[in-house]
Amino acid sequence: MQLTQGQRTPLSSFVRGSAFTLTNDISTSQTIDYACFGVDAQGKLSDDRYMVFFNQPTTPCNSIELKHAGEFRIELASLPPTIDRLVFTAAIDGAGSLHAIGTGHFAIRENGHEVARCTFSGTNFADEKAVMLAELYRKNGEWRIAANLQGFNAGLAALVEHFGGAVMEAPPAPVANVSLEKKIAAAAPHLVSLAKKATVSLEKANLSQVKARVGLVLDVSGSMNAQYSRGRVQEVVNRMLPLAVHFDDNGALDCWAFGSSPVQLADIDLANHKDYILTEQGGWKRWAVGSRVNNEPAVMRQVIDFYKDSGERTPIYVLFISDGGVHENRAITRLMAEAAALPIFWQFVGLGGRDYGILAKLDDMAGRQVDNCNFFALDDLDDVSEERLYELLMEEFPGWLKAAKAAHIIA
């Protein structure tokens, strides 16, 4: 079904159920921030948890989720009755206007099939920097859709204020930018490009002023041999180091490796990171990890005890690399439930493997003080840009910081 600007129609005319996706695609070189505002009958954002955007990608009821840039997963049946409308928006991040874009559209997809689309182009706009693209709203007991395409001269902040939300002033980003890049440039100029990209993602996630320790856990089971030989694990080290330099005053990564047994390696910093995988303790092939089979609980226990013994209340971000073959689901579940009371956020990344077991399900695990885990998988690091990787790595960390602070887990 083709929708036109201003058209209003029952959602049921092309969507059969209550679960579907709304996707957006705008042809432009500019960065676009997408958001969904869940507002009440007065058109106001009475609960700011129902603003879904890059820094808060899901609602408390999990009815709206920003999965990728411009793609929203929607489950209308689980929305609370206080949410009367869902307004989907796009805003230019930085200079420029919507008049400069090429073509664009939003579309509704159900069960993987596109069932409706509304197209537009830069000629629909003048100097506007933001636009309300589509609106889902309740009327006479049913959901309807409106193709708005209503523009705003200011950006995302103007939209927040329009819906009655409060705009918090961003921290002074240029200071953080210069500081991180200077630290990297002085000792490792080949990482400056990564530092710039990491800084952009940190600013978007409002993490510019956050201090944290950073840890790295590396799977050295036999099935990971190709990832080490091809240099992929060294790439992980290189991409993580700018985050450590930013977050931690000592600019270092705590590091562990594991096979059947765990081993704590030397901290990784700007002085020793280059070829770390080939030089640390004689290189990865000589690391004292026992037999080359994966034993996740053993290394998790060592990491938990290490940080617990330190008495830290500073946030701790742990990146855990695995290529799968995970089978100790019960032991891992117990350890993550225990760790939920500690100031540790676990970011699990599947790299070039399969059978990730409980690691892929920890994000939905019940019985924890806070949700302290996230997971995503990559077939190859080259499958995702460095910018997108940093966005994925920082996707749920801000939400955990907020929850952990409210639970008095971190200071």
Mean pLDDT of the chain: 89
Residue 167 has pLDDT above 70, yes or no: no
Per residue in 220-252, pLDDT (tens digit) is 999 999 999 999 999 999 999 999 999 987 889
CA dist list (Å): 22 to 120, 136, 215, 285, 391: 16, 11, 36, 47, 21
* pLDDT tens-place string over residues 341-383: 999 999 999 998 888 988 988 878 888 889 999 999 998 888 8
Class of domain 2-162: mainly beta
* pLDDT tens column, 189-227: 889 899 889 988 898 888 988 999 999 999 999 999 999
Query: Are the folds of 2-162 and 189-406 the same?
Result: no
CATH class as words, domain 189-406: alpha beta
What integer is the mean pLDDT of 13-26? 93
Q: Could you state, in order of their start, the residue ranges of all structural domains in the chain?
A: 2-162, 189-406
pLDDT of amino acid 166: 60
pTM beyond cutoff 0.85: no
DSSP-derived letter for residue 364 is: G
72/19 Cα distance (integer angstroms):
11
- On the 0-12 / 13-18 / 19+ scale of CB atoms within 10 A, 316 is buried
